[in-house]
Structure 1
Amino acid sequence: MTSNELGSSTSPYLRQHAENPVAWKQWGEAAFAEARERDVPVFLSVGYSACHWCHVMAHESFEDVATAAYLNEHFVNVKVDREERPDVDAIYMEATVAMTGRGGWPMSVFLTPAGEPFFCGTYFPAEARHGMASFRQVLESLTDAWRSKREQIAGIGQSVVEQLGARQQVAGGAIDAAVLERAAAVLKVDFDPVDAGFGQAPKFPPSMVLDFLLRHHRRTGSEDALAMVEATCERMARGGMYDQLAGGFARYSVDAQWIVPHFEKMLYDNALLLDVYTHWWAVTGSPLAQRVATETADFLLAELRTPEGGFASALDADTEGEEGKYYVWSPDELREVLGDDAVWVIELCDVTGTFEHGTSVLQLRRDPDDLQRWERVKRLLLEARGRRTYPGRDDKVVAAWNGLAITALTRAGLVLDRPEYVDAAVRAASLIRDVHLDASGRLHRTSRDGGVGSAHGVLEDYAAYAQGCLTLLAATSDGSWLQVAKALLDRVLEQFVADGAFFDTAADAEKLAWRSQDATDNASPSGVSLAAEAFTTLASVTGEARYDEAAGQALAASAALAARAPRFAGRALAVAEMHRAGPLEIAVVGSADADADAGRAVGVGVVELVRVAVHHAPWGTAVVRGEPGSDVPLLAGRGLVDGRAAAYVCQKFTCKLPIGLPEDLRAELTGGR
């Protein structure tokens, strides 16, 4: 068997291919140098661990000895984990979409030794079918073209690089009140009034759009905005995309009704959805919102937390070579496990046996009429499911996605009164600080088993982690998190911004065929919208105008997209809701230890003031807590009132009179509602 380079990788996805007969190389100059020396093209295969079709193509083609031999003879073969190297993935996905009209993973790109793409595709089957050429046919055609049409290939590659590399992020003005109102109106047109969500199948969880609509409702009182949120959140939580037994959301629904999931569970989805359901509960007090937020946070801690305290990237869709096998049930299996309760569960959870092998996911279209019975059934089903083969886990820790989880868990821990969530957020933030940050201040994107990866952080890593650190200022009295966030965002201004434009990669990062810029909030927030959020929060905490200006620049980069296609600018719109009027700042001065020493009950004093502030202020408001004399600027000059904790509600560092009682703070933030 041909050896390859992937066995030493920190990426679980790459290590899955370490025993392939393909002579895989990791991304780097050495691979392109070999291509130049051998005068052959580079085959670039990009995927990720939880990707079902990546596994299919690997089994069909990359594990096939004859196909591997052909690849090894005629190409230099490079394997990339898109989650580890989003910079590489981004530019070649841009090329793939430009050349084919669509994208996806696995992504299969053929490059000149200069890194210029000349042929792009996604999954290629082992045998020709449905009008698709087989992978071997593609390889043979490209090998022939490389020999006989070299000038044409070179021209294609150079043209792609010139055209895509020349694209620049164009600031489209401001996301003002008119853009926000128009976005809400366009989303109402795109809303599915029957099955909720936006657009047609497949339906992805529209986390950032829902967050925007909740913020828009809180500012304007729009009942249409709230209705879209409530309908979508309820349908997602009651359908098959949500794990009714253990919590956590699958990546998307393949149908419009939220029934059939694509079964992988991603950290970023669950972090974003945890924040949405917590926000929904804060706005409405919905019991469903509270349950799903709690279960989703519990899922993160139980199934994605690593021994080092970070959060793993994903759970695979497949077990034993079959997608979703771990999660689905047949009526016969339910009868075997549940006995007399099976009929009740089959009807309650809509188990019709319509999947492969007569199985179904569990749905929960209504609340059970007997909650004790449902809890007993859940225990039995979880015990039975525990005897199945557990899905593979991609246990690399990604800085950006952990940043999203830190923010969501901190807010959920505060408003739901679950201190274990805050503890988990602090531990994850400490891991990123201690392992991912090097002595020069550079943030590395990934780690695994406590060892840092070689890939440098991109804009989303710096911004999402910085926001997580800033959110922790509400949950702890540790002002060092401000220093971490400030250093990260200062580096963003130095390395990721040029002539007012934001780039996804640092100026001193590895030079690729071109430097990517993407303001699209897609499955996860774009780096530039995350930067807008983090700079807005940092400006609120420090009072420094340069950070507010940076936030405005970042929002301007998303303005054209927000006006044209608001479904793909949800995070930017949510931040703009807060930024446009000048966000609130809330300083809570006091000590939880002092509260305890004074004999006050748990939850009274500084902790309760913080909880009320995070719960009732506009979502994302900068809330900091600390003792008198703290070096956090927002706390400067703020003192106790009659020796007791006090909250200062401020805007642009101009504060109202201090408030000592939680009910008074609640009235101040809600206008007495």
Structure 2
Amino acid sequence: MKSHDLEEIKWERWGEKALRRAKDENKPLYLFIRSNMSPLSLEMEECSFLSQDVVKALNEDFISVKIDREEYPFLWEIALVTSCVMNGSGGFPLNLFLTPDLKPFFVARYMPLEGTPSNPGMVDCLPRIKWLWLTGNQSVLSASEEIMEGVKKATEVGGDVSLEDALKEAVSKIQQDFDQEFGGFGKDTKTPMVPRLLFLGEYSRVFDCQVSDSIFSRTLDVMSQRAIRDHLGGGFFSYSKSRDWSNPMLEKRLSDQAMMAIAFAEGFDRYGKVSYWRAADEALAYISMDLFDPERGFLVGRPFDPERKGYYSWSKEEVDSLLGSDGPIFRGCFAIDGPDSIPSMPSSLEKMADMEGFEDPEDLVDLLSKGCQILSSARMNRAAPSLDNRIITDWNALAIVALARCGRLMDRPNYVRMAERVCSIFLEGSVVHCDGVPAFLEDYAFLTWATVELYRSTEDKKWLDASLDLEGRARELFSWEDSYRVNSKGGEGILFPYSSGQDGSVPSGAAVMAGNLVSLWLITGDESYLTRSKKVVEHFGGAISRSPENHLFLLLSVLRNMA
């Protein structure tokens, strides 16, 4: 957030000072929730916020707060729910207008400087919102109360659930959403949905289910081949804008590398496929070389940079000039046929080897590996997208989980040693989310998971002791109604006490804690951990019953105590 502060706008940090100013001055709060990984967030900052009319309105009539999604994930979650309740959808960026008592009364997604009939603009909306606040204050307050009730209702999670039925229904709904042709889920934009993959892998193991097994392996196969994977630099992009995974969003996030490495290592452990081992190994090699700060841990990643999107793409002429006689084969295997192609393998190595006339697929692997090394070296001479050099605890904890688990499953002790090194950094002193921001549930939940994985990989009791300590501190700070709230009791302002068990690109903190409690039961034999894990799952019974396919990490903890 600090790197994007615009001097013209008097941005406040989220916290007590901003909330107190709103009450003292009787002004609405304006929350701009952004992400370095969102091109539309950058566009608003570079266009809408440079207008002197917008600057004047925000400074005089509102208490303006800029929030990074990575720094305050729980605010993003609640804002997203609010947007869905009010507008039917949500996404980056989000613009929220709140009463001084933190009740929303207007929400919009991307707001250009000047609006259209379907998309309100900043210069149009700000004067209207000011007028509405000054002249219709009571009606605004009444409407905000109704909106808040709708948001609270949308976040209700309690209710009865048959876990046996929920498990079966989850697999059924995943099967309906599965793309038979291209793997993954849905028929448009594709995101890896790693929590879903990990659930499928465990479900197939527990129940010997061929359906979940084939969905799991097919999706891993396609993701390892297509452009969602950075075949030259290692690791994975965050998602694909096309159904066939060939048009990736050119951003590389630490959290995605960690989750994908875990998924492919689990796939390797189950099927023994060398291609899965390579995909996981390259993802961890990428974060170790490109994102690692020896003093602080792993950086956030490389956001999308519209001025440097050519960093990842290649033309036919460039490939041929670098690879010579191997160029046509390399281009054919990686579908480099236009001026700005991103390497993407349309079929399996075995099929490509047959098409190119190789009797042994490993000979093609050698040719492609050599070509990737040459192009990777050439790419290093290009101007790379900038690094987001913030350190975020929960994402680092995910990286530790990935290093520890992959090191164990893939027989890579160097990864376990790196996991120990990084974890030691985050266990020194008090736990925070990032610089200047207090810790949230996810930070404690993922660090507990990380130390559990380190204990499983090393059998060093210090990591078990750390797990028990972190679990106890999480219970003390975040416990709420048999589950956990997203921020600590008495923490920085939040619209209302909020608990979520729903999966995103990473699992929720509550779901991870449910799994941690199962792990501690399995390690220590203390039944109280299992009892508490079951209570966490039961707390979300209504939400699981309504959409089991969105609460798979909670159901994963159920599977683990059934095995």
TM-score (norm 2): 0.92
Equivalent pair of 2:171/2:549 in contact (CA under 8 Å)? no
Q: Which amino acid aligns with 2:299?
A: A
- Show the 5 A alignment for 1:117-516: 117-129=104-116, 131-165=118-152, 168-173=156-161, 175-176=163-164, 178-308=165-295, 310-320=297-307, 324-353=309-338, 358-365=339-346, 366-367=348-349, 369=353, 370-434=364-428, 437-438=429-430, 443-446=431-434, 453-516=435-498
Q: Which moved more, 1:148-157 or 1:59-68?
A: 59-68
CA distance in 1, matches of 2:519, 2:443: 16
- How much does 1:498 deviate? 2.9
Instruction: Determine helix, strand or coil for the equivalent of 1:576.
Output: helix
CA distance in 2, matches of 1:276, 1:559: 27
Equivalent pair of 1:309/1:424 in contact (CA under 8 Å)? no
Gaps of 5+ in 1: 1-13, 447-452, 582-673
Equivalent pair of 1:327/1:361 in contact (CA under 8 Å)? yes
- How much does 1:94 deviate? 2.0
Equivalent pair of 1:238/1:363 in contact (CA under 8 Å)? yes
CA distance in 2, matches of 1:21, 1:330: 42
Equivalent pair of 1:529/1:558 in contact (CA under 8 Å)? no
Equivalent pair of 2:511/2:553 in contact (CA under 8 Å)? yes
Gaps of 5+ in 2: 354-363
Equivalent pair of 1:532/1:555 in contact (CA under 8 Å)? yes
CA distance in 1, matches of 2:181, 2:88: 30
Evaluate the alpha carbon distance shift between residue 181 and residue 165 of structure 1 in structure 2; reply closer, same or farther with a 3 A threshold.
closer
Q: Which residue of 2 aligns with 1:81?
A: 68
1:615-655 superposed Cα distances (whole Å, 9 cap, x missing partner): xxxxxxxxxxxxxxxxxxxxxxxxxxxxxxxxxxxxxxxxx
Q: Which residue of 2 aligns with 1:663?
A: none
1:48-87 superposed Cα distances (whole Å, 9 cap, x missing partner): 2222211111111123444323322222211111211123
Larger radius of gyration between Structure 1 and Structure 2: 1
Equivalent pair of 2:253/2:301 in contact (CA under 8 Å)? yes
Evaluate the alpha carbon distance shift between residue 126 and residue 325 of structure 1 in structure 2; reply closer, same or farther with a 3 A threshold.
farther
CA distance in 1, matches of 2:448, 2:159: 24
1:487-543 superposed Cα distances (whole Å, 9 cap, x missing partner): 221223333223324322222323422111111112210111101111111122222
Q: Which amino acid aligns with 1:98?
A: V
Equivalent pair of 1:331/1:351 in contact (CA under 8 Å)? yes
Evaluate the alpha carbon distance shift between residue 306 and residue 64 of structure 1 in structure 2; reply closer, same or farther with a 3 A threshold.
farther
CA distance in 2, matches of 1:380, 1:76: 53
Instruction: Determine helix, strand or coil for the equivalent of 1:344.
Output: helix
Q: Which amino acid aligns with 1:333?
A: E
- How much does 1:171 deviate? 4.6
CA distance in 1, matches of 2:10, 2:328: 53
Evaluate the alpha carbon distance shift between residue 186 and residue 32 of structure 1 in structure 2; reply closer, same or farther with a 3 A threshold.
closer
CA distance in 2, matches of 1:558, 1:295: 37
- How much does 1:303 deviate? 1.7
CA distance in 2, matches of 1:316, 1:27: 23
Instruction: Determine helix, strand or coil for the equivalent of 2:233.
Output: coil
1:530-580 superposed Cα distances (whole Å, 9 cap, x missing partner): 011111111222222221111111222344444443331221222211113
- How much does 1:46 deviate? 0.9
**RMSD, aligned CA:** 2.1
- How much does 1:477 deviate? 4.4
CA distance in 1, matches of 2:163, 2:437: 33
Q: Which residue of 1 aligns with 2:519?
A: 537
- Show the 5 A alignment for 1:542-561: 542-561=524-543
Instruction: Determine helix, strand or coil for the equivalent of 2:372.
Output: helix
Equivalent pair of 1:472/1:481 in contact (CA under 8 Å)? yes
Q: Which residue of 1 aligns with 2:358?
A: none
Evaluate the alpha carbon distance shift between residue 64 and residue 347 of structure 1 in structure 2; reply closer, same or farther with a 3 A threshold.
farther
- How much does 1:16 deviate? 2.4
Q: Could you say which structure has the higher helix fraction?
A: 2
Instruction: Determine helix, strand or coil for the equivalent of 1:482.
Output: helix
Instruction: Determine helix, strand or coil for the equivalent of 2:142.
Output: helix
CA distance in 1, matches of 2:41, 2:510: 29
Q: Which amino acid aligns with 2:449?
A: Q
Q: Which residue of 2 aligns with 1:624?
A: none
Evaluate the alpha carbon distance shift between residue 79 and residue 345 of structure 1 in structure 2; reply closer, same or farther with a 3 A threshold.
same
- Show the 5 A alignment for 1:17-32: 17-32=4-19
- How much does 1:119 deviate? 0.5
- How much does 1:168 deviate? 4.0
TM-score (norm 1): 0.78
1:168-208 superposed Cα distances (whole Å, 9 cap, x missing partner): 431534533x4323322332222111111122221110211
Q: Which amino acid aligns with 2:340?
A: T
1:570-626 superposed Cα distances (whole Å, 9 cap, x missing partner): 212222111135xxxxxxxxxxxxxxxxxxxxxxxxxxxxxxxxxxxxxxxxxxxxx
Q: Which amino acid aligns with 1:361?
A: I
Q: Which amino acid aligns with 2:511?
A: S
Instruction: Determine helix, strand or coil for the equivalent of 2:163.
Output: coil
CA distance in 2, matches of 1:38, 1:352: 60
Equivalent pair of 1:495/1:508 in contact (CA under 8 Å)? no
Tell me the percent identity. Answer: 26
Q: Which amino acid aligns with 1:409?
A: L
CA distance in 1, matches of 2:484, 2:162: 15
Evaluate the alpha carbon distance shift between residue 508 and residue 478 of structure 1 in structure 2; reply closer, same or farther with a 3 A threshold.
farther
- How much does 1:309 deviate? 5.2
Instruction: Determine helix, strand or coil for the equivalent of 2:310.
Output: coil
- Show the 5 A alignment for 1:488-637: 488-581=470-563
1:421-468 superposed Cα distances (whole Å, 9 cap, x missing partner): 11111112111101xx42xxxx3112xxxxxx2322222221111011
- How much does 1:295 deviate? 0.9
1:353-385 superposed Cα distances (whole Å, 9 cap, x missing partner): 2xxxx4121102332643332222212211221
Aligned length: 549
1:194-230 superposed Cα distances (whole Å, 9 cap, x missing partner): 1111222211102111111111111222222111111
Equivalent pair of 2:161/2:545 in contact (CA under 8 Å)? no
Instruction: Determine helix, strand or coil for the equivalent of 2:32.
Output: strand
Evaluate the alpha carbon distance shift between residue 40 and residue 509 of structure 1 in structure 2; reply closer, same or farther with a 3 A threshold.
closer
- How much does 1:165 deviate? 4.1
CA distance in 2, matches of 1:413, 1:41: 51
Instruction: Determine helix, strand or coil for the equivalent of 2:107.
Output: strand
